[in-house]
Structure formats: structure tokens, C-alpha cells
């Protein structure tokens, strides 16, 4: 049988087991025959999520969100670092640190806008919205913002990299202050010391992608957000194994509409029952992130995230009539955004783009040639970025797959016990018939 038939059989089997359990419990089972994920040959996540829904229902999706929010950042930090070190190892890794990049050299110059794809450095970390955008520990982003604040004053990052901001040119100068002999060792050591995923910042980015609370508070223009969304759209395409780097006119129009909504602070989402307006005030977003960023209870985190559905909408009638449909769409959307954010962190975050600029300069005598417009840069670094995204998707797929297996085991255990008990009763009946 082919892959599509195998997928159909999974749902048929699960459906029969769920039906048996529900009949035993006196419930009427509801059969779902059509799953779009059956025909999706490239992305396994929709199939895994449909399997979860079939096995347990919407609560399984909520639990998955809670599990991802409480655990995946820690798992992803180590794995992404390994992927980055592997992908950042260039042909000249064994060469000595170039003179221009040493502490006595001129360093390399990069415009701030070229590494700050999403305009993060325009926001003060100490502001309300800045509390969401920056992490809880010092990292590359916070140190660069410090350098921008103290114009012309060198700031050292992780005892390895010195950065100085020039307000006249709006550029930062980067140079090494580490005593490592080779390019490869410097890159590897820097990745080890870097904070790739700050949990609070990661959760903020995911939830902001749902509601746009931080984006609205940053005061960006529609054009700025529109360009950011184009980068995100191309990352989304790469996740789906589409490296055409082409956005259709209809998609451009949708991105422009979404950019306007983000700037206005009111997002309209199709939750499967028509459009529903959602607006989560910044204070509510801050409270949510404070509540879940340090939490370890996945059930509590899932519940807190679900509550934002009711906080963000005044359309109580639509929610009441379409509650399960809305919840299904909401949690599936968040799971897809988690994939997106992990991919963006590893490919378009300021510290990664700075590293790409350094690699580029190492290959071109201190001149940065490839870092500029983020959309074009995705094309220039296509092979490396695709490899990074592929590894991240494997990690997410494995994480969700393990959750599916755990739920299936829970589903099958009572079925197996029931079958065994029926067989025992059958054999006992046969034995009794032989001795009476």
C-alpha cells in the first residue's frame, strides 16, 4: 500500500478503538472521514496533529502546546547550537583569525538595519513592550542595544566579541577579543556561549505572532511590518520545502492586509467558522508571559494560553456556538507558529545574521557582501538555511511524535486489556465445557 493508504488506515484503526471505548462508556462516537493531512506528502506535522485530535480530541492539542512551551526551548537550544556549528563550519575554518578581525584590527562594519530584520533594536528593553522582546539574561541583542545607547563606546559580548556603534553611519563594528587560534574554533566557541533561545523571549514572539500585541505597541509603520511579514512568509515556504522564493500577488495582498491589522492592533483570524476579531491588550500579554515563562506544568500553561481566546474577543456568541472549532484552529495555529519561530531564531535573529556577516567578511577580506536585504539574504544563504530548518523540523516532528505515541499507548492499553479478558473468558468457558 502507498503512504496515503497507510495514513487512512491509521485514522480508521484509531477511530474504531475510540468508538469501542465510547460505546463501552455509553457515548455516541462521531466519525471523521476526511483529513487534508492524508494527502500532504511533505509535512508530517499536520498528520500527527490530526492523529492527536482523533485519539484524544482538542485537549490533546492544548496539552501539546503546553508541552512545547515548557520543554521545547530547552531541547532546541542544544540541538540548534549543534546544527549551527555544523553549518557555520566553512572551508577556511582552519585558518587563523584574520588580522582585520583581531582586537588590534579595524573590524568589520555592518549597518544595524541589516542584522535587525524585525526592528527589535528600536525598542528599549526597559519599556513595557521591551520586556517582551528581550530575554531575561544578557545576550547578543541586549549588548548591541547597550552599544547603541552608549554611542561610540565599545561593548564586549561573552568575552569574545567587541561591538561599537556609530550613530553617524548607523553601523556597528565587530571584532574579536578572544584568544583563539582559528576561525573554526572562534565560531564554535561563540555559538557555545551564545543564548540562542531565551524562553521568555521565545514565548513572547510566539504569542505576539498570534495577537500582534507587541507589534502594535512598537509603533511600526505598515511598510515596515509588511517587509517583515515577507521574510516570515519565505521562511514558512522553506519549512514546507518550497525554495522557489516566490510570493504570489494574492499572498502579497494578504500580507499587506495583515500588516495593517498588526499596526492597528486588531487581528482577524479564520478559526474555521468565519472571521473573528482578536485584540489582546499589551498588559494582558505581559501578564501571560510572566505566568507561563517560568512554568513547568504543561496543563497549567495550556489552560493559560487557552484563556487568551476569551480575553481577546468580545464575540461571546461566536465562541459559545463554535467553541471546539475555534479551539482546534487556535492550538494548531500556535503549534505551527512555534515551528516558524524556531526556524526564524536560527536563521534571521540579529546574532545569527551578525555571524553570517562575519563569515562573509572572512571570505572577502573583511568586506561584507551578502548581508543586506533579508529577503535576498535568504536566497544567498539558501543551502545553509534549508539545512538548519530541516534539522529543526526533524526535532519538532520527533517531539510531537513521542506525544502521539504516549497518547496511543494510553488509548490501546484498555483495548488490549479488554481483548485479553475476552479471550480469558472464552478459554475458561471452553475448559468448563470439557470438565462438566
78 touches 197 (CB < 8 A): no
d(CA 339, CA 350): 19
d(CA 209, CA 203): 10
Same domain? For 191 and 229 the reply is no
Each residue's pLDDT tens digit, 386-412: 888 888 888 888 888 887 777 777 766
Q: Does pTM top 0.85 for this prediction? A: no
**Among the listed ranges 217-221, 367-371, 377-381, 400-404, which one has the minimum average pLDDT value?**
400-404
Same domain? For 358 and 429 the reply is no
Same domain? For 264 and 280 the reply is yes
Quote the pLDDT of residue 280: 92
CA 235, 236, 239, 242 dihedral sign is: negative
Q: In 3D, which of 46, 49, 48 has the Cα closest to residue 62? A: 49
Q: Residue 192 has which C-alpha cell?
A: 557555545
Quote the pLDDT of residue 23: 46
Same domain? For 237 and 275 the reply is yes
Report yes or no on 372 lying in a domain: no
Quote the pLDDT of residue 423: 72
Each residue's pLDDT tens digit, 128-144: 999 999 988 888 999 99
Same domain? For 229 and 310 the reply is yes
Q: Residue 308 has which C-alpha cell?
A: 487568551
Domains held by the chain: number: 3
Q: By residue range, what is the domain housing residue 152?
A: 92-197+350-365
Count Cβ atoms below 10 Å from residue 195 Cβ, excluding itself: 18
Same domain? For 202 and 337 the reply is yes
Examine the fold and report which residue of 287, 312, 346 is the final residue of a domain before the chain moves on.
346
d(CA 390, CA 383): 11
Amino acid at each position: 500500500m502507498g503512504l496515503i493508504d497507510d495514513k487512512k488506515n491509521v485514522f480508521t484503526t484509531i477511530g474504531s478503538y475510540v468508538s469501542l471505548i465510547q460505546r463501552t462508556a455509553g457515548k455516541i462516537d462521531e466519525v471523521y472521514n476526511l483529513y487534508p493531512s492524508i494527502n500532504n506528502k511533505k509535512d508530517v506535522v499536520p498528520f500527527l496533529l490530526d492523529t492527536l485530535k482523533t485519539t484524544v480530541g482538542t485537549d490533546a492539542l492544548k496539552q501539546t502546546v503546553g508541552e512545547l512551551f515548557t520543554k521545547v526551548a530547552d531541547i532546541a537550544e542544544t540541538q540548534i547550537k549543534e546544527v549551527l556549528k555544523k553549518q557555520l563550519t566553512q572551508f577556511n575554518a582552519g585558518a587563523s583569525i584574520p588580522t582585520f578581525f583581531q582586537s588590534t584590527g579595524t573590524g568589520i562594519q555592518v549597518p544595524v538595519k541589516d542584522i535587525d530584520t524585525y526592528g527589535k533594536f528600536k525598542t528599549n528593553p526597559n519599556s513595557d513592550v521591551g520586556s517582551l522582546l528581550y530575554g531575561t539574561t544578557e545576550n547578543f541583542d541586549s549588548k548591541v542595544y547597550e552599544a547603541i545607547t552608549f554611542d561610540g563606546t565599545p561593548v564586549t559580548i561573552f568575552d569574545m566579541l567587541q561591538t561599537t556603534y556609530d550613530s553617524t553611519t548607523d553601523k556597528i563594528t565587530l571584532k574579536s577579543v578572544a584568544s583563539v587560534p582559528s576561525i573554526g574554533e572562534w565560531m564554535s566557541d561563540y555559538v557555545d556561549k551564545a543564548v540562542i533561545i531565551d524562553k521568555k523571549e521565545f514565548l513572547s514572539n510566539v504569542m505576539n505572532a498570534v495577537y500582534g500585541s507587541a507589534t502594535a505597541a512598537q509603533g511600526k509603520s505598515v511598510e515596515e511590518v509588511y517587509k517583515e511579514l515577507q521574510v516570515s512568509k519565505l521562511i514558512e515556504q522553506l519549512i514546507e520545502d518550497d525554495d522557489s522564493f516566490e510570493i504570489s500577488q494574492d499572498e502579497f495582498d494578504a500580507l499587506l492586509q495583515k500588516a495593517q491589522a498588526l499596526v492597528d492592533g486588531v487581528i482577524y483570524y479564520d478559526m474555521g467558522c468565519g472571521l473573528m476579531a482578536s485584540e489582546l491588550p499589551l498588559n494582558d500579554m505581559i501578564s501571560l508571559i510572566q505566568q507561563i515563562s517560568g512554568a513547568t506544568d504543561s496543563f497549567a500553561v495550556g489552560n493559560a494560553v487557552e484563556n487568551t481566546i476569551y480575553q481577546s474577543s468580545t464575540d461571546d456568541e461566536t465562541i459559545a456556538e463554535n467553541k471546539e472549532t475555534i479551539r482546534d484552529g487556535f492550538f494548531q495555529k500556535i503549534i505551527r507558529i512555534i515551528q516558524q519561530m524556531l526556524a526564524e531564531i536560527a536563521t534571521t535573529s540579529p546574532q545569527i545574521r551578525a555571524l553570517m556577516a562575519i563569515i562573509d567578511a572572512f571570505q572577502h577580506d573583511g568586506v561584507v557582501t551578502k548581508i543586506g536585504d533579508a529577503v535576498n539574504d535568504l536566497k544567498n544563504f539558501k543551502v545553509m538555511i534549508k539545512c538548519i530548518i530541516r534539522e529543526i523540523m526533524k526535532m519538532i516532528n520527533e517531539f510531537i511524535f513521542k506525544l502521539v505515541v504516549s497518547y496511543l499507548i494510553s488509548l490501546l492499553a484498555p483495548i488490549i486489556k479488554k481483548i485479553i479478558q475476552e479471550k480469558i473468558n472464552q478459554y475458561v468457558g471452553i475448559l468448563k465445557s470439557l470438565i462438566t
